[in-house]
Amino acid sequence: MKLADLTVREFADLVASDAPAPGGGSVAAYYGGVGAALTAMVACLTQGRKKYAEFAGHAAEVEAKAKALQAKLLDVMDRDTDAFNVVSDAFGMPKETVEQKAARSAAIQEGLKGCTRTPMEMMELCDETVTLAASLIGRFNETSASDLGVAVLSLKAGIQGAWLNVLINIGSLKDREFAEEYRKRGEALLAHALPLADECYAEILTLIEG
């Protein structure tokens, strides 16, 4: 059963339940995906309008790229829950003998690396999508300003949410080199995406408030 095939209500209900997955990781990916969808929508509504004719070419490009990012983010949403389940299964492995303990611990560590890779992918995809959404500022159909604003808010929540998931997993990793590499990659993505998202939000607020 793929999360993307649940209804919107079922997804929320499953999150609310005591099932540990899907949790914040898959939710963060979904926010990224919906942020990409809103970016595509705004780009779409900018095309075919006389007033915005000069921006139509750029908007068409943004629309296509945003839709591709949306598909990737929805895909990683499911893979994040799969990665989580690998760790859960590893915790359930037998731990009677020394060999079993070692095998279990190795499986947990490998699983945690998987749970670090998926939110890092989300961070990369959200960063790419924020950059795309930001490229619409000054050249989009302004009747959709609030939609572009919500796109940016979505992508910010997505990247920050994914970051929490990177952090919580690298905290339990014994491979400190891997952990440090992922921490640095995440910090670099945040340093780019968060100020960009905040600038866009501020621009949109000014636009709406007139």
Q: How far apart are CA 175 and CA 105, in angstroms?
A: 12
User: Judged by CB under 8 A, does residue 205 bind a copy of itself?
Assistant: yes
User: Given the complex with a copy of itself, which of 124 and 179 has the nearer CB atom?
Assistant: 179
Report the nearest approach of a copy of itself to the CB of residue 21 (Å).
Answer: 10
Q: What's the min distance (Å) between Cβ of 89 and a copy of itself?
A: 17
Q: How far apart are CA 121 and CA 94, in angstroms?
A: 31
The distance of closest approach from Cβ of residue 99 to a copy of itself in the complex, given in angstroms and rounded to an integer, is 27
Residue 64 touching a copy of itself (CB under 8 A): no
Q: At what angle do helices 98-134 and 56-91 cross, to 10 degrees?
A: 170
What is the full DSSP assignment across 134-190? HTTTTSS-GGGHHHHHHHHHHHHHHHHHHHHHHHHHHTT-S-HHHHHHHHHHHHHHH
Residue 40 engages a copy of itself in binding (rule: CB under 8 A): yes
- Site residues for a copy of itself, 141-170, by CB under 8 A, read 144-147, 149-151, 153-154, 156-157, 160-161, 164-165, 167-168
Q: Quick one: tokens of 42? A: 């705004």
Distance in Å from the first CA to the final CA of the chain: 47
Binding string, 3-32, against a copy of itself, x = CB under 8 A? xxxxxxx-xxx-xxxx-x--xxx-xx-xx-
Q: Which is nearer to a copy of itself, 18 or 54 (CB)?
A: 18
Number of residues this chain uses to bind a copy of itself (CB under 8 A):
59
The verdict on 171 binding a copy of itself (CB under 8 A) reads yes
Which segment (82-90, 120-128, 131-139, 197-205) binds a copy of itself by CB under 8 A?
A: 197-205
Our finding on whether 204 is near a copy of itself (CB under 8 A) is yes
Q: Which of 57, 63, 58 is nearest to 43 (CA)?
A: 63
- Secondary structure letter of residue 76 according to DSSP: H
Under the criterion CB under 8 A, does residue 131 sit at the interface with a copy of itself? no
Decide: is 114 part of the binding site for a copy of itself (CB under 8 A). Answer: no
Rounded to an integer, what distance in angstroms lies between the CA atom of residue 197 and that of residue 33? 16
Query: CA–CA distance from 39 to each of 34, 77, 132 (Å)?
Result: 8, 19, 8
